Structure 1
Amino acid sequence: MAEITNFRGDVQETRSEAEEEVARIIARVGERVRHARDRKGIPRRVLSEKSGVSPRYLAQLEAGEGNISIGLLSRVAHALDHRIEWLVGEDDPWSSDALRIAELFRSADSATQARVRAALAPDPAETARANRICLVGLRGAGKSTLGRRAGAALGLPFVELNREIEEQSGMPVDELMALYGQEGYRRLEAQAISRVIATHEAMILAVAGGIVAEPETYARLLDHFHTIWVKATPAEHMARVREQGDTRPMAGNPEAMEQLKSILTAREALYDRALARLDTSGRSEDESLADLLALIERHHFLD
């Protein structure tokens, strides 16, 4: 009989300890919810609207009196932009750098987030770039001509990004720009880059000259392609564009050459972030092609 009494006593004691632990968890969760709400400056009424949990229930929760369900707690955590683990875990999230780092990461742009991921779990750059080559530079440098001929010589598909955008949208770039504006076109450009990366492990890509001015898209190019800056003198840039039958750069604009030089100067540091440079100034098409193929081999871009 004494053994039964002892057994029942042990059970009662264990049950009491379990209840105390539950009470401690509820109190801890309530304190952290209140702390998170105060840090963000969110009134309880607003948190109620965002989470779908009643103000009365939230008041009980913050007071350590609410035996809230996992489902409702998850909704509260989501409304506070926190993971549920931070509300229920034993470690104090406010005393470490984890929360601050997570908040900074969530508020960063995609390019910064990509760099953080690469730093924390780095993949070899060669793996990310695979056998993809991208030619960057101002219009008239020879990107499309050389890219097409190099692709044929190396047995690689050649893609001109503007043509890819036109095929997907069903309209010329000029019309896209008129319809969606510069910002809308840049979004289409970024989407096209993602499609190309997803569908080609080996290729040569030529992109528009202004893509380098879009930080996130250019960072994605640099991460996923072996980039080559195809360059020439301002006079040759202008002459080649006119030879293509496009007289717009000079039409009614006597300052076009100065504007071109200004653009080149402004973008030079951006173009110079490419892994290699190919100067086509004073070179014939065949000579520039030979230079490009030699550069690709020398840098082991297709190894």
Structure 2
Amino acid sequence: MPNDSTPPDPAALLIAHLAGRVRETRKAQGLPRRVLSEKSGVSPRYLAQLEAGEGNVSISLLQRIATALDVKIEHLLSQNAPVDREAQRVATLYRHAPDDVQQQVRSLLAPQNPAALRAGRICLIGLRGAGKSTLGRLAGEALDLPFFELNTEIEQHTGMPLSEVMAFYGQDGYRALEAEAISRIVTQNDRMLLAVAGGLVAEETTYAQVLERFHTVWLRTSPAEHMQRVRAQGDLRPMQGNPAAMEQLNLLLKTRTPLYEKALAQVNTSNRSVSASLNDLLRIIASNRFLEVASG
């Protein structure tokens, strides 16, 4: 008995597939057809016909529909995997989430390889006067890496100098701004050098984020040199009217040393010239392969 069946029309199959993809994607996002019409500028009647598999659709209209659904046009045309409604919902939530939330999601989904999470980001920690700003800037130039100072980033973000930031936001507000700035910098940079304030290590959550997302280097020197360098910068506050300043500095360094020792590497700048300390820092970065992004 002869076979009278005719092969299916490829165009009709594509239209039927496209109809199902549009319908399923819209429903996965919980969008009424009326809302999709408003977002895409395509009439409800035309959308109804499209989802029913009736008629043809131009590429330009399909692109408008894909944009309104917040998916790529290839997703609607693909004949591989079916629409996963939950995955669609999560993807939409992610795309519209703030940068810090997206960063948290990426952290959870990324391969849990510490070196991979840190990428090519390096953070210099240590007390004021250890050389973070000077060595960070010079190392950035030598390695062709952008260099950031966290306090400067906070000033630029708030539009006010640090003294006003502290007066306006207070210590707790400033610490929150530090955490936000860290998240923002991590999101925007995979290769960079960062210098942070000496007290950041006392903020457990923020410091944990730095240790996770950066290769950390503790720049250290003697208490006497810390004090000398701060005074050389024109800041007499550590000494002015405070004869016990050196004693307090020694106590602060003793308290923070266990925290600074969590860094992956150390560079001692005591009795070292700037050029010698820079060479030490560059050697540490190279020997620890901080700029080689590990695979997951």
TM-score, normalised to structure 1, is: 0.60
- Distance in structure 1 (CA, Å) of the matches to 2:108 and 2:272: 41
Residues 283 and 176 (structure 1), Cα distance of their counterparts in 2 relative to 1, 3 Å cut: same
Using the TM superposition, give the Cα deviation of residue 155 of structure 1 relative to its aligned residue in structure 2, in angstroms: 0.2
- Report whether the alignment pairs 1:158 with 2:154: no
Residues 161 and 120 (structure 1), Cα distance of their counterparts in 2 relative to 1, 3 Å cut: closer
- Distance in structure 2 (CA, Å) of the matches to 1:120 and 1:206: 27
Map of 1:130-279 to 2, 5 A cutoff?
130-279=119-268
User: Percent of aligned positions with the same letter in both sequences?
Assistant: 60
Structure 2: give runs of 5+ residues left out of the alignment.
1-102
Residues 121 and 245 (structure 1), Cα distance of their counterparts in 2 relative to 1, 3 Å cut: closer
Using the TM superposition, give the Cα deviation of residue 120 of structure 1 relative to its aligned residue in structure 2, in angstroms: 10
Residues 198 and 265 (structure 1), Cα distance of their counterparts in 2 relative to 1, 3 Å cut: same
SS across alignment from 2:129: coil
Using the TM superposition, give the Cα deviation of residue 212 of structure 1 relative to its aligned residue in structure 2, in angstroms: 0.2
Query: What letter matches 1:216 in structure 2?
Result: T
Q: Choose 1 or 2 for highest CA Rg.
A: 1
Query: What letter matches 2:282 in structure 1?
Result: L
- Distance in structure 2 (CA, Å) of the matches to 1:260 and 1:179: 27
TM-score, normalised to structure 2, is: 0.62
Contact map agreement 2:107 2:117 (CA 8 A) in 1: no
- Distance in structure 2 (CA, Å) of the matches to 1:259 and 1:188: 27
Using the TM superposition, give the Cα deviation of residue 121 of structure 1 relative to its aligned residue in structure 2, in angstroms: 8.0
Map of 1:1-303 to 2, 5 A cutoff?
123-303=112-292
- Distance in structure 1 (CA, Å) of the matches to 2:252 and 2:190: 32
Structure-2 residue corresponding to 1:86: none
The structure whose RCO (Cα within 8 Å, separation 6+) is larger is: 2
Using the TM superposition, give the Cα deviation of residue 153 of structure 1 relative to its aligned residue in structure 2, in angstroms: 0.3
Runs of 4+ in structure 1 deviating by more than 4 angstroms, as ranges, are: 117-122
Using the TM superposition, give the Cα deviation of residue 173 of structure 1 relative to its aligned residue in structure 2, in angstroms: 1.1
RMSD over aligned CA atoms reads 1.9
- Distance in structure 1 (CA, Å) of the matches to 2:163 and 2:108: 39
Using the TM superposition, give the Cα deviation of residue 119 of structure 1 relative to its aligned residue in structure 2, in angstroms: 9.9
